[in-house]
């Protein structure tokens, strides 16, 4: 079975500007804004983002895994007992979906464009 790596970490943020200031000054991370409610970070060892959208952000950090076949992975998640919390949607750079595992942890799987 192919390994599916964690490639991105999304952190919920009620104030993206304050989050950028905090993580930038504390850890030296770099940021790229993708609108007023999202900033991607780099220079952290694992790429990620600060999600400030009150509708889209998760309640806890969101690990994002990478796959070459999003539809097949969605079917595998469901077959394994996961619950789809956000169906497949497009975002800058690809498509993804969110799911919860049997313990209630939310994760996402993406396929790059």
Residue 64 inside a domain? The answer is yes
Residue 1 inside a domain? The answer is no
Give percent of the chain with pLDDT exceeding 70: 99
Strands 48-51 and 6-12, by their bridges, are parallel
Residue 59 inside a domain? The answer is yes
Q: What integer pLDDT is reported at residue 3 of this predicted model?
A: 86
Residue with token string 């070459």: 68
CA dihedral 55, 57, 60, 65 (to 10 degrees): 130
Which CATH number goes with the domain that contains 94? 3.10.180.10
Residue 17 inside a domain? The answer is yes
Residue 23 inside a domain? The answer is yes
Residue 40 inside a domain? The answer is yes
Total count of domains within the chain? 1
Residue 84 inside a domain? The answer is yes
pLDDT at 8 over 80: yes
Three-state DSSP class for 35? coil
Residue 79 inside a domain? The answer is yes
pLDDT at 2 over 80: no
pLDDT at 113 over 70: yes
Structural domain for 62, as ranges: 6-112
Can you give the pTM of this predicted structure? 0.89
């Amino acid at each position: 079975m192919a390994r599916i790596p964690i490639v991105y970490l999304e952190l919920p943020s009620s104030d993206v500007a304050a989050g950028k200031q905090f993580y930038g000054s504390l850890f030296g991370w770099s940021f790229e804004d993708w609108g007023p409610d999202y900033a991607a970070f780099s220079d952290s060892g694992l790429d990620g983002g600060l999600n400030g959208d009150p509708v889209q952000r998760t309640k806890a950090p969101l690990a994002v895994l990478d796959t070459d076949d999003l539809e097949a992975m969605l079917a595998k998640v469901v077959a394994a007992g996961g619950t789809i919390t956000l169906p497949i949607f497009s975002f800058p750079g690809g498509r993804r979906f969110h799911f919860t595992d049997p313990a209630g942890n939310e994760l996402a799987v993406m396929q790059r464009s």
